[in-house]
Structure 1
Amino acid sequence: MKKLIRITTIPGAIGTLLKGQLNFMSKHYDVIAVSSSDNGKLKEVSKKEGIQAYPIELTRKITPFKDLIATYHLYRLFRREKPFIVHTHTPKAGITGMLAAKLAKVPHRLHTVAGLPLLESKGLKRKLLDIVEKTTYKCSTLVLPNSFGLKQIIIDLKFTNQSKLKVIGNGSSNGINVEHFNPETISESQKEKLKLELGIQPNDFIFIFVGRIVGDKGINELVSAFDSIQTKNKVCKLLLVGPKEEHLDPISSVSESRIKENINILDVGMQKDIRPFLAISNTLVFPSYREGLPNVVLQASAMELPCIVTNINGCNEIIKDGLNGLIITPKDTKSLKSAMTFCLNNPQKLKEMSRASRNIIIDLYSQDIVWKELLSLYKTLEK
């Protein structure tokens, strides 16, 4: 079988964001995963996916010297393994992997774009990140934005030629396992047990956010909007599910204080299985500044949750305003507060949006659709 090397910056991206996909591809290609070792997590992912894995240390920060070393190690790996395809994900894996693959004369070099962090950067940092992105695309033979809106942004920024861009299926890097993300997988007893643990009362209305607790996910606006709403409506709670990243994009000290002091804000941190938390919630709130095609909105929708999202690429492709959720202005606390209040005060409309949510995901973003489309693309490269 021809060799396929898939590269991510951290193994969690393979084990979570691409879960199952590399195992599926291993039936058709000799698949090798490359990522940082991350204290043995790469080995765990390798075992679960049933594929080979090689650790090469990659960082998520701007570290030119370490990046050059990683590029050299990747180059040596490609020269030894002679892959037919190298396919990278995440910005750092993209620049090191695509550059090394071009130097090693790998025939097919694919890079998936699942968001552009540079959109929130300014000044010299923005100029540097623009150069890195353009270089990544120049070294690749095909660039795969994971949403149509992201594709248009890349075209507008003139990062590469339109002919080099392709969206797989309807978007998404991995699709959604709709059997796993199904409200029926969580029993009533599981929900009641979790509510008891969190101190949630039977009549409480639960807003939930799932993701990194950072500034560019709109956490400052979310905490401010909720703090204002719940002073007048004591039966609502905000559930925050996800890790903090103070070293990369910290939230404001005001938001930190509100989270600690407001007893109706439940900060539960990172969770291995988010489904029980989605199952006890009424609405997902996802006021992000930038995305590719956000997995959490797909997952919540598959769990029959209406979603409040910002009017940005990816989010506004999954959510149709008034059909399966509400679309708000980015970075706008007033708009967010209005949408959250609407959900609180319109239970019938919320039920209608809930009913529509899951079917849209099944029809457009099921894992089978994305995996088969990507495999089909790989196969066309063999002709």
Structure 2
Amino acid sequence: MKVLLISSLAPSLLTFRLDMIKAFQRHGHEVIAIAPEHGQQWEEKFKALGIAYYAVPIARTGMNPLEDLGTFLRMIRIIHKIEPDIVFAYQAKSIVYGCIAAKLTGVNRIYALVAGLGSILHSHRKSSIKTIIVKLILKTQYKLALACCKRVFFQNPDDKQAMSTMNLIREEQPSLIHGSGVNLTIFSEQPLPEQDVFLFVGRLLRDKGICEYMEAAKLVRQQYPQARCLVLGPFDTNPTAIPKHELERFVEEGAIEYMGATDDVRPYLQQCSVLVLPSYHEGTPRCVLEAMATGRPIITTDAPGCRETVVDQMNGFLVPPKDTAAIAEKMIWMIENRERLRWMSQQSLRMVRDKYDVDKVNQVIMDTMQIQPMEAVKYVGGDQRL
């Protein structure tokens, strides 16, 4: 069968969906990908993995209706050309335009993965007229797109319930999975460093809790100046992204060390003793699963997608969202309770192996999508038998 994956970001396919792609290929199916990045380098990267690649401009945060119409029409043309048996889309605009385009071109087996609802749908505070209009448009688009799907995957029960409450999915559609999973061969147990090193990993967005982390780091280093507080991740075009000068202020004050962005987080996880992610909402944070797989305790928020990764006081701590003092308090506790930290690190390993192994997650996805291994055809006496 031809399985088409649609994403708003090509690197995301290679980072978050590669294990799933390989699972499809091991079952004997052809995988095709659509993403916005164009150029020979991307075609070659996907070709090396045995994946046909098509570039379609998708403005992740853009609000130009003419650009979006162009994306939609091009999506229709390419899907019609590919003639896939199955379409799997994730990220907001990929779901909206990919699923509707697939339905219009006659694809029946369409699936979506809602890996977090994003800032607009999660917002409960008083909004501007513009935000209210954007939220209404997004909900309408989601409703139309998800109506095209056989099943919709969610990475946490909060997002599933929210979509259901907003009447955006049918009762029989949702399927809950444990995030994207983590490859336990690539991410394995690493010894804890002797020094107290905290690490934030993620795009530098306010909604990721980067501001609270930096403020907490400042408080921690006032009391324990030997502690290191690292920040790893790229700047972004998202409306909630922080400007460069804001981060540089904390670097100049000595509160944090900015490590830049990377394609391989493992050397930084190896350096740290605790991962801190004070995000306001997630699908299921991949960086947390990767940290758990290396044997790191977690400090994260009691918020959608984050709370599923931590049993409070077992493999780390849950703190209220936007609570700088609580984050700093738990970071200091980790410094002062080294033996307990080591015990927590083992609980992270146990949890990730039991619940978040990528092979287990992908098997649930394939079972739900009814993707079976292609049986070899044997010829016996002129008869074809499976």
Structure 1 segment 43-122 matched on structure 2, within 5 A: 43-61=43-61, 62-117=63-118, 118-121=120-123, 122=127
* Cα offset, 1:147, TM superposition: 2.2
Q: Which moved more, 1:228-237 or 1:242-251?
A: 242-251
Q: Which residue of 1 aligns with 2:188?
A: 182
Counterpart residue number, 2:257: 266
Conservation of the 8 A alpha-carbon contact between 2:316 and 2:344 = yes
1:127-166 aligned within 5 A: 127-166=136-175
Q: Which whole-Å CA distance do the structure 1 matches of 2:48 and 2:355 have between them?
A: 27
Could you tell me which of 223, 227, 231 is aligned with 2:218? 227
Moved more, 30-39 or 204-213: 30-39
Residue matched to 2:327: 336
TM-score (norm 2): 0.88
CA deviations on 1:129-167 (whole Å, 9 max, x unpaired) are 222222221232221112233212222332212211112
Deviations 1:289-348 (A, max 9, x none): 110011011000001000001011221111110111100101111221222121122112
Which segments of 5 or more consecutive residues in structure 2 lack a partner in the other structure?
374-386
Distance 1:237 1:56, change over 3 A: same
SS in 2 for 1:152: helix
Give distance in 2, aligned partners of 1:172 and 1:250. 24
How far apart, CA to CA, are the structure 2 residues paired with 1:138 and 1:212?
31
Aligned ranges for residues 331-370 of structure 1 at < 5 Å? 331-370=322-361
Match of 2:12 in 1: 13
What is the distance in 2 between the residues matched to 1:48 and 1:300?
28
Decide whether the 8 Å contact of 2:115 with 2:283 is kept in 1.
Answer: yes
How big is the shift at 1:37? 2.7
Contact 2:19 2:358 in 1 (8 A): no
Cα RMSD (Å): 2.2
Which residue type is aligned with residue 205 of structure 2?
V
- The letter of the residue matching 1:119 is L
TM-score (norm 1): 0.89
What does residue range 229-248 of structure 1 map to in structure 2 within 5 Å?
229-245=220-236, 248=239
Aligned to 1:297: 288
Question: In structure 2, do the counterparts of structure 1 residues 312 and 237 end up closer, same or farther at CA, with 3 Å as the change threshold?
Answer: same
User: Contact 2:366/2:372 (CA < 8 Å) preserved in 1?
Assistant: no
Task: Give the 3-state SS of the residue equivalent to 1:57 in structure 2.
Answer: coil
State the distance in 2 between where 1:177 and 1:57 align: 30
Q: Given the alignment of the two structures, is residue 284 of structure 1 paired with residue 275 of structure 2, yes or no?
A: yes
Contact 1:26 1:51 (C-alpha < 8 Å) held by counterparts: no
Identity of aligned residues (%): 28
1:310 to 277, 293, 301: 301
Mapped contact 1:23–1:51 kept (Cα < 8 A): no
Cα distance in structure 2, aligned partners of 1:78 and 1:134:
21
Which of these residues, 159, 167, 179, is aligned with residue 172 of structure 1? 179
* Distance apart, 1:252 and its partner CA: 6.5
Q: Which residue of 2 aligns with 1:375?
A: 366
Shift of 1:112: 0.4
Task: Determine if contact 1:20/1:49 at 8 Å carries over to the other structure.
Answer: no
Match of 2:247, as an amino acid?
E
Query: Alignment partner of 2:89: what SS?
Result: strand
Match of 2:382 in 1: none
Q: Distance in 2 between matches of 1:11 and 1:254?
A: 28
Letter in 2 for 1:368: D
Letter in 1 for 2:17: L
Deviations 1:97-156 (A, max 9, x none): 011011112111111000111235543222222222222212322211122332122223
> Could you say which residue in structure 2 is the equivalent of 1:196?
none
Paired residues, number: 363
Structure 1 position 254, deviation (Å): 8.0
Distance, in Å, in 2 between the alignment partners of 1:315 and 1:92 is 23
> What is the CA–CA distance in structure 2 between the aligned matches of 1:254 and 1:329, rounded to whole Å?
27
Structure 1 gap segments, 5+ residues each:
192-201
| Further displaced range: 154-163 or 224-233 | 154-163
Asked if 1 retains the 8 angstrom alpha-carbon contact of 2:235 and 2:244, the reply is no
* Distance (Å, rounded) in 2 between the aligned partners of 1:38 and 1:267: 30
1:34-68 per-residue CA deviation (whole Å, 9 max, x = no partner) reads 11134445324413421111111111122321221
For residues 107 and 153 of structure 1, the distance between their equivalents in structure 2, rounded to whole angstroms, comes to 26
In 1: Cα distance, 2:146 partner to 2:309 partner: 26
Distance 1:222 1:83 in 2: 44
Q: Distance in 1 between matches of 2:17 and 2:371?
A: 22
Determine which of 228, 251, 268 is the counterpart of 2:242.
251
